[in-house]
Amino acid sequence: MTVILLVAARNLARTTGRRALAPALLAVLITGLPAASQVAPAPKPQSGEDLPVRGRPVPVDHGKLSEHNIEWLQTQPPQAQMEFLLGAAVNHDRGATNMIADMVGEWHGKLHRTPRWESLQDTALYSNDLRVRAAAIEINLAVVNLAKTDEAADRLIESAKKYPNNRPYAAWELGMLANRGIETGRIHELLAEWIHDSSQQTRFWSVEGLAHIGTDDTIKNFLDVFRNEPSLDVRERAGCSLAKSGMLTREQRMKAVPGLIELGDDPSLDATTRNWVYQALREITNVNLPNDPATWRNWYATHGAEKAREFGADSWSVLGNS
């Protein structure tokens, strides 16, 4: 009844043109209502366009590639196969990363760069599932037709040594090769050297290359960049590599926490970098603590091992807040 009266008041204001009447009538009606009935429950959405953006978390719906999709794929050229499957992997469709692993060897030399692939790669490399990131790396090597061999790594390294301007590109691809088990130690040593190169672009992309590698040894490199790198942009990439980008697992990222806490207590750090340190700590741990090193040390001493064990059981997820 109350809702009917309120609607009638609004309709009366619209139909009579006496705009001042509606507020007055509404005030009288609301004043006369019991307190508990003055807040009406929000109506349930009746159609998709009524749905709000905010809401309770809903578990990810892992779809499955249909038989129809798979039949269609067999009729498509490699480029269409790759772009469809990478999109399906980004959407967490079951079976997509397995099909990429099975088919990517046949795609080498048959793919090319497209805006769609570049967009999908950017999304895939920030997926919360490391398997999707690994699939994106495999596809990248196929697109640039870079074989997963020691010889391919040697050619990239020699080119970068001879032509220093090629180092940013080489760093990106060498990191991907290292992640796939090609010359991992040698490439890590080279990129660890290049993060001190005179060229900011080389330092930036060497950090990106190190992020692709995904080994424990890279953590000290990112902490070194965070502390000593003169460029704010390069320091930001190191922070992102520790917190969320690249191929480190959640458990590995926990190994960076003591070093990050130590950095937070370093008076030589500028305010922006110190803020990034604490952002990285919160993203890695999924713990919302203030920018205070003593608070973080106490938390780590009490809960750090427990959190690392928790993350160790979730080896394919990347972020502490995913």
Query: Is residue 222 in a domain?
Result: no
- pLDDT at residue 48 in the model: 61
Reported pTM: 0.81
Q: How confident is the model over 192-216, as a mean pLDDT?
A: 98
| End-to-end CA separation in angstroms for the chain | 46
Look at residues 143, 160, 185 and tell me which one is the last residue of a structural domain. Answer: 143
Whether 34 has a pLDDT exceeding 90, the answer reads no
Look at residues 143, 159, 188 and tell me which one is the last residue of a structural domain. Answer: 143
Question: Are 81 and 28 within one domain?
Answer: no
pLDDT digits (tens, 9 = 90+) for 289-301: 999 999 999 999 9
d(CA 258, CA 88): 37
Query: Is residue 58 in a domain?
Result: no
Tokens 């700590």 label which residue? 281
Residue 317 phi/psi, 5-degree rounding, is -90, 150
What is the domain range of residue 6? 1-32
Query: Is residue 272 in a domain?
Result: no
Question: Are 82 and 135 within one domain?
Answer: yes
- pLDDT at residue 44 in the model: 65
% residues pLDDT > 90 (the chain): 74
Query: Is residue 203 in a domain?
Result: no
Compute the mean pLDDT over every residue in the chain, rounded to the nearest whole number. Answer: 87
Query: Is residue 23 in a domain?
Result: yes
Q: How many domains does the chain fold into?
A: 2
Query: Is residue 186 in a domain?
Result: no
Tokens 């220093």 label which residue? 164
For every residue of 219-269, which 3-state class applies, written as one string? HHHHHHHHHHCCCHHHHHHHHHHHHCCCCCCHHHHHCCHHHHHHHHCCCCC
Query: b/e per residue, 228-263, with b = 16+ CB within 10 A?
Result: ebeeeebbbbbbbbbbbbbbbbbbbbbbbbebbbeb
- pLDDT at residue 274 in the model: 97
Query: Is residue 263 in a domain?
Result: no
Within 10 angstroms of residue 305's Cβ, the number of other Cβ atoms is: 11
Least confident stretch, 21-30, 192-201, 233-242: 21-30
Question: Are 85 and 139 within one domain?
Answer: yes
Least confident stretch, 1-5, 34-38, 199-203: 1-5
Q: How confident is the model over 40-67, as a mean pLDDT?
A: 67
Question: Are 82 and 136 within one domain?
Answer: yes
Look at residues 109, 143, 177 and tell me which one is the last residue of a structural domain. Answer: 143
As a whole number of Å, the CA-based R_g of the chain is 27
Query: Is residue 24 in a domain?
Result: yes
